[in-house]
Every structure is written in C-alpha cells, then in structure tokens.
Structure 1
Amino acid sequence: MHVVDEWLQTIPSVWVYVLVGLVVGLESLGIPLPGEIVLVSAALLAAQGVVHPLVVGICASAGAIVGDSIGYVIGRKGGQPLFDRLGRRFPKHFGPAHIAKAEQVFHRWGMWAVFFGRFVALLRILAGPLAGALRMPYWRFAVANILGGVLWAGGTTAGVYYLGVVADKWMKNFSWAGLGVAVVFGIATTMWLKRKAAKSVAAEEEQAAATEAVGA
C-alpha cells in the first residue's frame, strides 16, 4: 500500500478522485483490482490534506454502486458460461471452489450477501455478476448494493481519514522521551514473554518425561 500511496501523490487531486471511482468500479464489476487498497491510500492522502475526504468517499461510493450494477447486468446475460470462462482465465479469483462458495453464501443469505459481500474481498468481486447470474430480483439487489456501497466506501474513507489525522498529530507531539519509554517497555515485555514461554516448554517436557516413565 505504501507504493500505491507514493504513486497517488504524484498525480493531480482530480485524477485521484477519478482513479478511486474507476478502480473501485472495475473491481465491483468483476475485474480483480485492488480497489480497497486504492481507497485506503486515497483516504490517507485526505488525512494529509492532499485531497478532500468527502469527495473521495462520494467517488468510491459511486464507483461501487455503478460497478456492481453493471456486473449484475453482465452476470444476468452471461450466466454460468460466463463464470466458466472467467474460471479458466482467472482461476485464483473465479475458480470452481470460489464460485461454489460464493453461491452457497448467496443461496443462504440472499440480498444480504450483496450487502455484506461489499466488505469481503472475494464477494466484492463476485457480488454483482453472481447476483445477476442467479436471477436475484433487481430491486432487492439495488437496495443491498446502494446501502452496502455507501456504508463500505463512506465508512472506510471516514475511518482511515480520522485515524490518519490522529496518527499525524500523535507523531508531531512524539518526543525522544516517549520513544525511550516505548523501547524499554517493548524490551521488558519481550523478555517476560520469553521467560514465560521457556517455563511452559520446561513444564511440558517434565510432563512428557513423567508420562514415558509411567508407561515404561
């Protein structure tokens, strides 16, 4: 993600918005792209004042909703043969095991699979096309798609943005004294864990030896 963050900083802010909407939209459509990584990187840039968090959230929400809707249409028209072709071309994302697992989730949860699928990497790619292929009524898909897209995109942007702001303020107020305390605490904790682990290993060895002696 650090590489993506550095790359986004080299392009104008308007293109960051376009890129967020495009990548998230293509991923939602069914193309395996790092939509979440791009969104998180853009939200971190917003925390640094490079872009506006509200615009990032809106673009990501729009991309998620539109991409999923297009994926639904493609899945409805292509059906199972579409997933067979994708499975041969992208076995890591559309292999038979992945499709079977996603279908099982859809059959069990229905429209909620679309909603919660927005928060799961595999279902985020498959939700739209699979909902269409399984002939889910569009109005049910649309409700879950809109709610899930807005909550995922807006929530991710807001959460990462505020965490980034807090982290930035904390780093500015960070002192060498604080660093020293953190290092000492880390060393003490490591030594305590090692001592505890050594005692556990010794106790297990004694118990194993006693068991062998009884068996003999």
Structure 2
Amino acid sequence: MSFVQDMVAQYGYIALYVLLALGIVGIPIPDELLLTFVGYLTSLDLLDYPAALAVSFLGAMTGMVCSYWAGRAFGKPLLWKYGKWVKLTPSRLGKAERWFNRYGLWTVSFGYFIPGIRHLTCYLSGVSGMDHRKYLWYAGFGALLWCLFFITLGYFVGTRIDFSG
C-alpha cells in the first residue's frame, strides 16, 4: 500500500487514474484502500473532491472496458481450450453463462463492492457477449457508487482524525 500512496502523493490524479484502471483489470492493487486514501487527501485539500471522484470513475471505467473487450475477444476460446484443467467442463460453462445472462447486469453494478468479483464480472460480461451499451450503463452505475462510497468514507474519516496530538 505504501507504493500506491507514494504514487498518488507524487503524481496525483494521473497515478490515481492509472492505478485504478490497472487494479480493475486485475493487477493486485488495493482499490478500496486507494479510494479511501484519496478521500483522506481530499479532506486535507491536497486533492479536489469532485476531480478525484471524476478521475477515479474514469480510471475504473477504463479498466472495466478493457476487461470487457479482453473477455469478448479472448475469453471463450481460452475457456474452451484450458477450462478442462480447472474442471470447467462445457456443461459447467453453459450453466455459468446462463446464470450470468440472467443476473449479470446487476452483478456488474454491485460486484464492485466484492474484491475479486469486480474483476471477474468484467471479463465474464465480454465472454457472455453482453450488449456493450447495457454493460457500460450498469458498469458506470456501479463504478460511480463504488468511487463515491469509498472516497466519501475517506473524506469523513479524514475530517475526524486529529493528528496534532
């Protein structure tokens, strides 16, 4: 986490955007802690709250869109070819795809709040062939709620902490 904090402290909004985009794609970055830290920085007026929210949203959406298109382009062939190594038979893949087609849009929106799930929903949306316009709406809704919640949490925690002793 100290690397992430140092990057945001040194490079500001650019680091925030890149780190969130990479974190959503699947690079192990503590996204919730990053957003809470950003909220804390806004409480100190080191970052602007609306700008931090906008940049966070754009970074999250960039990661979501990249993951969606990667799943769309490469997902099914990879699952068909290598799924057997992790017990993903064609029958299980079919069941998973039917479930995702039924509940996937809401999973995309609220999966942000569950680490690991938010990464998979992006790829699975592409793999399942979900309509990209619908995907963008539901992913955008979830990204906005997620960024808003954790940045606001960090902001309010930061205003309550007294470091003066």
Provide the TM-score with structure 1 as the length reference: 0.61
Unaligned runs of 5+ in 1: 88-94, 175-216
Would the aligned equivalents of 2:72 and 2:129 in 1 still touch at CA under 8 Å?
Answer: yes
Displacement of 1:64 after TM fit? 0.9
Higher relative contact order (CA 8 A, sep 6+): 2
Higher-Rg structure is 1
After superposing the two structures, state which structure 1 stretch, 43-52 or 68-77, moved more. 43-52
C-alpha deviations, 1:43-101, integer Å up to 9, x for none? 212222222222111111011112101211110010234468999xxxxxxx779xx8x
Aligned counterpart in structure 2 of residue 139 of structure 1, from 133, 151, 161: 133
Corresponding residue of 1:36: 32
Aligned counterpart in structure 2 of residue 151 of structure 1, from 145, 153, 162: 145
Aligned counterpart in structure 1 of residue 100 of structure 2, from 95, 106, 113: 106
Aligned counterpart in structure 2 of residue 167 of structure 1, from 150, 161, 164: 161
Tell me the C-alpha RMSD between the 2 structures: 2.9
Unaligned runs of 5+ in 2: none
Counterparts of 1:48 and 1:60, CA distance in 2: 18
Counterparts of 1:10 and 1:30, CA distance in 2: 22
Would the aligned equivalents of 1:58 and 1:154 in 2 still touch at CA under 8 Å?
Answer: no
Counterparts of 1:113 and 1:41, CA distance in 2: 26
Counterparts of 2:40 and 2:119, CA distance in 1: 23
Q: Secondary structure at the match of 2:116?
A: helix
The residue identity in structure 2 corresponding to 1:113 is: T
Identity of aligned residues (%): 25
Displacement of 1:140 after TM fit? 1.9
Corresponding residue of 1:177: none
Aligned counterpart in structure 2 of residue 119 of structure 1, from 113, 122, 134: 113
Provide the TM-score with structure 2 as the length reference: 0.78
Displacement of 1:38 after TM fit? 2.0
